[in-house]
Amino acid sequence: MEGVIVQVGEPKSIVLFNNGKIGAIPTPEGGRVGMVVTVKPNNRLKILLIAVAAALLLSAGIAIGVMTVSRGTETQTETGYDWQRGQEKRQELMNTWQDKTGEQK
């Protein structure tokens, strides 16, 4: 796509394209107002594929997180904390304390 530079600036210049659209491109070396430039159009398919890949990675991450959290007790056991064993140990200590003091708690 061809266009004409209408305003030069750093790092981008404003270009009026032959299809009537206005865009910003990196300023070419020696670029000046009135200079004719040729620009490759953006590859929309590439942009679309990158967006789809990002969405898939995000959804996969969410799914893995949900599965990990929903496992519940296995996750806690793997980290070294067993809720049921903790309750049993607490009960053993309470029974020992009651035997020694004779008090009911």
User: pLDDT per residue over 30-72, tens digit each?
Assistant: 889 999 998 887 777 778 888 999 999 999 999 888 887 766 5
In order of 15, 37, 45, 51, 86, the CA distances from 24 in angstroms are: 6, 12, 21, 23, 65
Instruction: Please give the average per-residue pLDDT across 67-93, as a whole number.
Output: 66
Residue 9 phi, psi (nearest 5): -155, 165
- Identify the residue whose tokens are 């865009």: 23
- Contacts of residue 9, Cβ cutoff 8 Å, sequence gap at least 6: 27
Please report the pLDDT score of residue 73 as a whole number. 52
Please report the pLDDT score of residue 83 as a whole number. 62
Beta bridge partners of 3: 17, 37
Beta bridge partners of 4: 16, 36
Please report the pLDDT score of residue 6 as a whole number. 94
Instruction: Please give the average per-residue pLDDT across 16-41, as a whole number.
Output: 89
Asked if pLDDT for residue 75 goes beyond 60, the answer is no
Instruction: Please give the average per-residue pLDDT across 80-103, as a whole number.
Output: 73
Task: Spell out the domain ranges in the chain.
Answer: 2-40, 42-71
Distance in angstroms (rounded) separating the CA atoms of residues 83 and 81:
6
Distance in angstroms (rounded) separating the CA atoms of residues 71 and 92:
28
Please report the pLDDT score of residue 9 as a whole number. 87
